[in-house]
């Protein structure tokens, strides 16, 4: 029970954040798979994974040379920026100010774009298709790497954070193989809402820790911070909705998809 | 000279694209990012300097970040309403 209290927030934040990123990468991989075949899609994805692994092994050890408090403040600020960016978008989407992200539309756009361009085959691999999956895996993967390193490195939680991300990867890949189409039913905005809250909470916590501020409850303060951030965000949704659409008074607090 | 300039331009483009992608990881709305960084700096350096009680520093850090987020979201909503108003009046 105590172990889960300590590791839970890190594993959960890493799992959910990585899940969203993997779903976005999977959409592109499936689009390439459909139009240009499995070999091109998997070759690009594999190359992307190799580049990410090289980046992690090359840059990861450098973190040891940064003083811990400086590292905590720097990582905390980056987590705060990353989390608040997601949270802002999720609030605006819930309030109807921004359009919801649509994986099916993303899939259709990517498929149409690939179908409209000429294939350039080398060694049985279409370079355009492989390039698209390579880009998707590297860009979404970079976010996963950042989340894992940022959540793990500052509090000695690298293994739990990695396990959370790995579990998300396995779940998304399995789902992708089973349904073989974009995971459009994933409530992405609700997930981004939760992830934004968790990542922002970790960010504020680590900035405070690095600055030498005292959090009531030590590490468990993260849960309290998350509850406060959740309340502030949920209360902001109907206010923002009423500003944009004053006629519609149904500003029900919540995190609708 | 021109032959050397082409690959350099290619490398510069890759570096610029990578930089833009990295920037986009953390910054969506420049005002929100600047305000959050400014508040963190102010809280870390300013709160101890003006003698705020240690027990209040962490809650104030959190409160400042939340106020920044809420103001940014509401400002975006107001901008959107103004845009809608302008488009319907045309």
Across chain A, mean pLDDT equals 82
The residue among A31, A37, A179, A184 whose CA lies nearest residue A111 is A31
Can you tell me the mean pLDDT for A182-210?
84
Contacts of B74 (CB under 8 A, 6+ apart): A236, A239, A240, A243
The shortest CB-CB distance from B81 to any of A76, A89, A243 is to A243
pLDDT recorded at residue A257: 39
**Would you call B62 an interface residue with chain A, using a CB distance cutoff of 8 Å?**
yes
Can you tell me the mean pLDDT for A59-83?
85
**Would you call B41 an interface residue with chain A, using a CB distance cutoff of 8 Å?**
no
The residue among A86, A217, A225, A80 whose CA lies nearest residue A154 is A80
- A142 pLDDT band (50/70/90 cuts)? confident
pLDDT recorded at residue A200: 94
Q: Which residues of B touch A80 (CB under 8 A)?
A: 36, 40, 65
- Cα A49 from Cα A139, distance rounded (Å): 11
A21-55 pLDDT per residue, tens: 888 888 888 888 887 788 888 888 888 888 888 88
Specify the DSSP class assigned to residue A75.
H
- Where is pLDDT greater, at B10 or A188? A188
Specify the DSSP class assigned to residue A215.
P
Structure tokens at A16: 């959910």
CA distances from A148 to A102, A131, A158, A239, B4 (A): 26, 25, 7, 34, 40
Q: Which residue of B has its CA nearest to A245?
A: B81
Residue of B17, B21, B22, B26 best to disrupt the A interface, most CBs of A under 10 A: B26
* φ and ψ of A126, to 5 deg: -80, 115
pLDDT recorded at residue B73: 94
Contacts of A132 (CB under 8 A, 6+ apart): A28, A31, A32, A44, A110, A114
Reading chain B (90 residues) residue by residue, the pLDDT tens digits are 455 556 566 667 767 777 777 787 788 888 999 999 999 999 999 999 998 898 899 999 999 999 999 999 999 999 888 887 776 666
B32/A92 CB distance under 8 A: no
- The predicted model scores a pTM of 0.79
Burial letters for B24-34: b for 16+ Cβ neighbours within 10 Å, e otherwise?
A: eebbbbeebbe
pLDDT recorded at residue A201: 94
Residue A253 has pLDDT above 70, yes or no: no
Sign of CA dihedral B66, B71, B76, B78: positive
pLDDT recorded at residue B5: 58
A145-170 pLDDT per residue, tens: 888 888 877 767 788 888 888 899 89
- Cα A45 from Cα A28, distance rounded (Å): 10
Is residue A202 within a helix (H) or strand (E), and if so which, with residue range?
helix A188-211
Q: Which long-range contacts (CB under 8 A, 24 or more apart) does A230-234 make?
A: A230/A197, A232/B66, A232/B69, A232/B70, A233/A87, A233/A90, A233/A91, A233/A193, A233/A196, A233/A197, A233/B69
Q: Which residues of B touch A88 (CB under 8 A)?
A: 28-29, 32, 69, 72-73, 76
A220-243 pLDDT per residue, tens: 888 899 999 999 999 999 999 998
The shortest CB-CB distance from A225 to any of B28, B43, B62 is to B62
A213/B61 CB distance under 8 A: yes
- Where is pLDDT greater, at A210 or A129? A210
- Where is pLDDT greater, at A104 or A33? A33
pLDDT recorded at residue B60: 95
């Amino acid at each position: 029970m105590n172990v889960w209290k300590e590791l839970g927030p890190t594993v959960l934040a890493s799992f959910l954040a990585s899940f969203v990123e993997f779903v976005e990468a999977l959409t592109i991989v499936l689009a390439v798979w459909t139009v240009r075949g499995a070999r091109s899609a998997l070759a690009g994805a594999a190359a992307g994974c190799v580049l990410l692994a090289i980046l992690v092994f090359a840059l990861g050890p450098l973190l040891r040379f940064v003083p811990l408090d400086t590292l905590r403040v720097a990582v905390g600020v980056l987590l705060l920026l990353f989390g608040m960016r997601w949270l802002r978008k999720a609030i605006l989407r819930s309030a109807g100010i921004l359009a919801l992200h649509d994986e099916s539309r993303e899939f259709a756009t990517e498929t149409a774009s690939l179908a409209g361009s000429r294939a350039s085959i080398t060694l049985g691999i279409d370079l355009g298709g492989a390039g698209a999956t390579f880009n998707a895996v590297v860009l979404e993967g970079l976010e996963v790497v950042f989340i894992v390193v940022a959540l793990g490195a500052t509090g000695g939680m690298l293994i739990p954070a990695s396990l959370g991300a790995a579990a998300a990867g396995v779940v998304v890949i399995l789902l992708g193989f089973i349904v073989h189409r974009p995971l459009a039913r994933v409530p992405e905005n609700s997930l981004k809402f939760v992830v934004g809250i968790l990542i922002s909470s970790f960010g504020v916590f680590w900035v405070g820790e690095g600055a030498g501020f005292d959090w009531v409850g030590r590490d468990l303060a993260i849960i309290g911070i998350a509850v406060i951030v959740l309340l502030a965000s949920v209360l902001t949704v109907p206010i923002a909705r009423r500003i944009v659409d004053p006629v519609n008074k149904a500003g029900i607090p919540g995190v609708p998809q | 000279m021109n032959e050397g300039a082409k690959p350099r331009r290619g490398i510069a483009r890759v570096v610029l694209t990578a930089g833009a992608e990295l920037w986009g990881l953390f910054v969506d709305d420049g005002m929100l990012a600047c305000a959050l960084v400014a508040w963190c700096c102010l809280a870390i350096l300013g709160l101890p300097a003006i003698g705020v009680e240690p027990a209040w520093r962490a809650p104030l850090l959190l409160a400042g970040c939340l106020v920044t987020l809420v103001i940014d979201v509401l400002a975006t909503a107001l901008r959107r309403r103004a845009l809608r108003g302008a488009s319907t009046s045309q």
